[in-house]
Amino acid sequence: MSWKLVIHGGSGSMKRGGLSAEADELGRAGLNAALDAGQAILAAGGSALDAVEAASRVLEEDPCFNAGRGSVLAYDGHVELDAAIMDGRDRRCGAVAGLKSTRAPISAARAVMEQSPHVLMSYEGADDFACEAGLEQVPNRWFVTAERRRQLDELLAQGANAFDADIKYGTIGAVAVDLDGHVAAATSTGGLTAKRWGRIGDSPLIGAGTYADDRAAAVSATGLGEVFIRAAAAHELCARVRMTGVGLQEALDGVLGEVKALGGNGGLIAVSPSGEAAWGFTTPGMYRGMAGPDGRCVAIYGEESER
C-alpha cells in the first residue's frame, strides 16, 4: 500500500498568459507548500485525515486562493467561510458554513466532527462553537485583501444582480489515502463574490462538494455549487465506483459530464483506497497538485502535462 495526496485550488477561467508571471509563480508555490504539509504526514505513516487538514490549512492561509485569508467578499463587503472534512474509515464528517471569525475553517469542521454530535453548524453558532473548541478567532477584516475588495467593487458596478460564476471557482480541497489504505477529503471556500441572503454552496454539504468512503474514494469539488448540489457530485462519483466497478477516472469524468449537462462547470479531484488518483475539470484551468512516493506535479492550465 502506498500513500497519495491530491489537492486543488479552484477551477475557472485561468489561461496561460491570462495570469501575470507573479500570480502564476505564487499559485504554484502555494500548491507546493500544501503538498509539503500533507506529504510530511503521509510519508511518515500519518493519517489521511491529518494530511488533508494540514494541506487545507496551508491553502486557507494563502491569499492566492478563495478560502480563509484571501476569500472573496459577500455583497455587503464581509467574508463568509464554508468548509467540510470527512473520514472514509467510518464516514464521520463535520462541516461549517457562514463563519466570519474563525481563522481555520477546515479545523472548525473537524472540531464539529470530533467534538460534537452534529455534522453541520452555521453562522454565529459555528463561530461560537469553534471558539469554545479553542480555535483562533480573528476580526473579519483579517480575511480581506485589496484584490478581493477590487473584485467586489468591479462586480457591483455591473448591477445589483451581477453574478461571478464566470470568473473563478476558488474553492480549495484535498483528498488523500494513507499507508493503511484509508481515505479522507477536505474542502474549504469563501464562496462566490457578492453572494447574498446567506447563500451556501456545495463545499460544506456532505455528498455534494465533499465525500470520503473507504469502500470507494475520497472526493473534493470546485465549481458552480448549485449544480454540484443538484448532482450530489461527490457522492455520485463514489457510488459509481462502488456500485458499477468503473475506474476512478471514468467515474469522475462521467460525473463532470452530468454536471455540465445540468448547466454547470467546475472540477473534481479523487483518490481511491488502492492509491489510484484522478482529476478533471470543464473550465480552462484548475489549480491542482499531486504527490506520492513516485514524485509530484503541480499545474494550473488545461494544456499542462498532468503526470
Out of 171, 189, 222, 282, the active site residue is 171
Interatomic CA distance for residues 53 and 184, integer angstroms = 9
The conformational region for residue 221 under phi > 0 = left, psi -120 to 50 = alpha, else beta, is: beta
- Residue 83 and residue 52 in contact, taking contact as beta carbons nearer than 8 Å: no
**Residue 171 annotated as catalytic:** yes
Question: What amino acid occupies position 60?
Answer: E
Question: Do residues 277 and 251 touch, judged by C-beta distance below 8 A?
Answer: no
Exposure string of 52-82, with b = 16+ CB inside 10 Å and e = fewer, is bbbbbbbbbbbbbbbbbbbbbbbbeeebbbb
C-alpha 201/C-alpha 229 separation (Å) is 8
CA angle 164, 52, 249 (to 5 degrees): 70
Instruction: Give catalytic residues, as residue numbers.
Output: 171
